[in-house]
Amino acid sequence: MRPALILILLGGLLASVGLAQEPAPSDVPPPAPATVAPPPPASPSGTPETQSSPPAPPSAAQGSESSPPAASASPEKAPADVQGARETPLDNETFDARIHRRLDEFNQRHAQRQLETASYAEASGADPGLGRYADARKIQVELKDELDREQTSEQLANDYAEQVREVLGKEQAVQDFIAKRRNTLDDLSKQSVSVNRQDLEVALANLARQPESPEIQAQMRDIDRRLSEAERVENDVPAHRTRAEQEAAGAAEELAKLKALQQSYQKESKAFAADALAAHNNRLALADRLEYYLVRAQAEDVLEQGRKAMESAQHLSASPEVDKTLNSSAPTRKSDPDLELLRSCIQQSGDVKACHEKASQPHQE
């Protein structure tokens, strides 16, 4: 049963490693963190039922194996469910409401994952033998959390970048307004310079001394009209100039504030982009860590089996009857006199042939 559990566990965890190593798509809502399924019930034969999430080892009632960590009691709310519950789509909300909504929803999902991680830590603390399984499951939850953080940070970075473009458009409009007011001030200055009221009054007085004629009257009416225009300009231009100067100065202040806001948005956009990159790098590191836990779980499982096998090993000894038989005295074998003579001759002379012929002579006789 233990090899089957290990294969199922490795299959689920390897799937998490593959998911962590894939680049996160941008401009998409973060996926709903899946609620951890309860441990698979054991069948009457003792084989756990297969399910999609990787199971933990069986309970302690089945020997020395222990039960998996308890899953979080409160499931996470998926972003799709949150989107469906909104009265207004997220993209149609105002900028500040959209930013706050993204952050609030991520914090809610993050809190749920923290509770899930704490449940694994609590379960592994109650059963030390469950630690290697709880570590792998915690890494899975942290991978989901970093994936969610990466995608949410990318969305926030795009939100701030879009807002930067909108502020740039407002800045251009304010700059155009300031340019128009400056042109107005130039026109007012030209009007003041071009109109010389004193010259018109002298000309009107000279025409009044001339004899009356239709031409003289027409010229006097034209000069009177120009004097009236000059009086209007003298009365209206200062007020127009003051108002134009005030509006240009106020617009310049607003332009400075818009530029400061643009810089703040750019800073936040870059910061969230950096957060997304950091979360992506963390996912890669967590995937490596999860791979280490998989290899370690395999090795520890083999070591545990070896420990159990060594504890139950018993050496087989011979029965007392065998020892008694082997230790009993054996019958003495009589020595061969001819062999003794042959050995003595070989040791003295070293001539094996001569000694052999000498030893065979008595038998021939």
Residue 218 covered by a domain? yes
> Is there a single domain that holds both residue 97 and residue 224?
no
Residues 190 and 114 in one domain: no
Domains in the chain, number: 2
The CA distance from 122 to 133, in Å, is 13
Structural domain includes residue 340: no
Q: Are residues 74 and 105 in the same domain?
A: yes
Q: What per-residue confidence (pLDDT) applies to 283? A: 93
Pair (72, 186) in one structural domain:
no
Could you tell me if 110 and 141 are in contact, meaning their C-beta atoms sit under 8 angstroms apart? no
Residues 72 and 138 placed together within one structural domain of the fold: yes
Q: What is the pLDDT of residue 9?
A: 52
- Residue located via tokens 């995937």: 287
223 and 119 in a common domain: no
In a domain, 285, yes or no: yes
**Quick check: is 48 in a domain?**
no
18 and 123 share one domain: yes
Please check whether residue 61 lies inside any domain of the structure. no
Measured distance CA(80)–CA(29) in Å, rounded: 8
Domain span at residue 218? 176-258
Classify residue 296: in a domain, yes or no: yes
- For 110, residues 6+ apart whose C-beta sits below 8 A from its C-beta are 145, 148, 149
Task: Say if 3 falls within a structural domain.
Answer: no
| 201 and 94, same domain (yes or no) | no
- Quote the pLDDT of residue 161: 96
Question: Is residue 251 in a domain?
Answer: yes
Same domain, 31 and 110: yes
- 341 three-class SS: helix
Q: What is the pLDDT of residue 224?
A: 75
Nearest 5°: phi and psi at 77? -90, 125
Strand partners, 42: 48
Digitized pLDDT (tens) for each residue of the chain, 365 residues in all: 444 444 455 565 555 555 555 554 444 444 444 433 433 433 333 333 333 344 343 333 333 333 344 433 333 444 444 444 456 677 778 999 999 999 999 999 999 999 998 888 777 666 666 766 788 888 899 999 999 999 999 999 999 999 999 999 999 999 999 999 999 888 877 765 555 666 766 777 777 777 777 887 888 888 778 777 777 766 767 888 888 899 999 999 999 999 999 999 999 999 999 999 999 999 999 999 888 888 887 888 888 888 888 888 888 888 888 878 888 765 555 556 777 777 888 888 878 778 877 777 755 55
Work out the burial of residue 241: count CB atoms within 10 Å of its CB; fewer than 13 is exposed, 13-18 middle, 19 or more buried. middle
278 lies in the same domain as 218? no
